Structure 1
């Protein structure tokens, strides 16, 4: 059953809690979404609040995917550039699909929905995202049309002695 995607959904307590649970579950399953397992929802909550504040201020937008049971199953946040020479592209970040749904093509569906949404944003020609090296994520994003355009070696410290590359990927929308 495909996910149902909504851009800029109303932020209800149920949605907020669903995103928090998703983020916690993805991290604890080994997902590279800004934290390292093990993590609790209370450790992630302040970062989610920062995301929600940025949305309220119009700096970020949210794409959420719900499964057939109506539960939050996927998210991607858009961040708009404020530098006047870079307003033609957006960042895509905190791209997540719940572990129970992985392997069903929902990641590809999420990225396609994100590209469709971004095409509707005024003046946006491309999406950039960064991913943590060492997990093969650049191969997945590459298979979805993104091109690697930059790599900073050892920029992400997952743990002492475990540094990973920060990889920048680009998807032209035109």
Structure 2
């Protein structure tokens, strides 16, 4: 059954807890979303609060995908540029699909929903994101229409002696 997507859901305790649980579950399954396992929702909370503050200020928007049980199964945050020369594109951050839903096409569905949402944002002509090298993520994003436009070798230190490339991807909204 497909996910149901909602842009700009009400920020309730249920939403906050659901996003925190998703983020911890994805991280602990080895997902490249800013943390390495093991991590707890409490360790992630300060990062989520930064995103929520940016939403309150109008600098970010949240896209949530819910499964058939109504649980948060996928999310991503849009962040808008404040630099006057870069307001024509937005960042996509923290692209996540719960591990129990991976391999079912929900990642593609999330990116398609994000593209549809971005097409409705005034003046946005492209979406940029970064991903951690060494996991094949750039191939996945490439299969969804994103193009690799840059790479910083060894920019992400997952652990001592385990440095990964920071890969920049772009989707133009023609």
TM-score range, shorter chain: over 0.9
User: For residues 85-118 of structure 1, what are the alpha-carbon distances to aligned partners after superposition, in whole Å with 9 as ceiling and x for unaligned?
Assistant: 1100000010000000000000000000000000
Structure 2 CA distance, aligned partners of 1:56 and 1:84?
A: 20
The count of corresponding residues between Structure 1 and Structure 2 is 174
Structure 2 CA distance, aligned partners of 1:80 and 1:51?
A: 12
TM-score between both structures, scaled by the size of structure 1: 0.99
Structure 1 CA distance, aligned partners of 2:129 and 2:51?
A: 16
Structure 1 CA distance, aligned partners of 2:127 and 2:49?
A: 23
In the other structure, the counterpart of 2:154 is: 154
Deviation, structure 1 residue 8 = 0.3
In the other structure, the counterpart of 1:87 is: 87
Structure 2 CA distance, aligned partners of 1:28 and 1:146?
A: 26
TM-score between both structures, scaled by the size of structure 2: 0.99
Structure 1 runs (4+) deviating above 6 angstroms are none
Unmatched segments (≥5 aa) in structure 2: none
Unmatched segments (≥5 aa) in structure 1: none
In the other structure, the counterpart of 2:16 is: 16
User: Aligned Cα RMSD in Å?
Assistant: 0.4
In the other structure, the counterpart of 1:75 is: 75
In the other structure, the counterpart of 2:122 is: 122
In the other structure, the counterpart of 2:40 is: 40
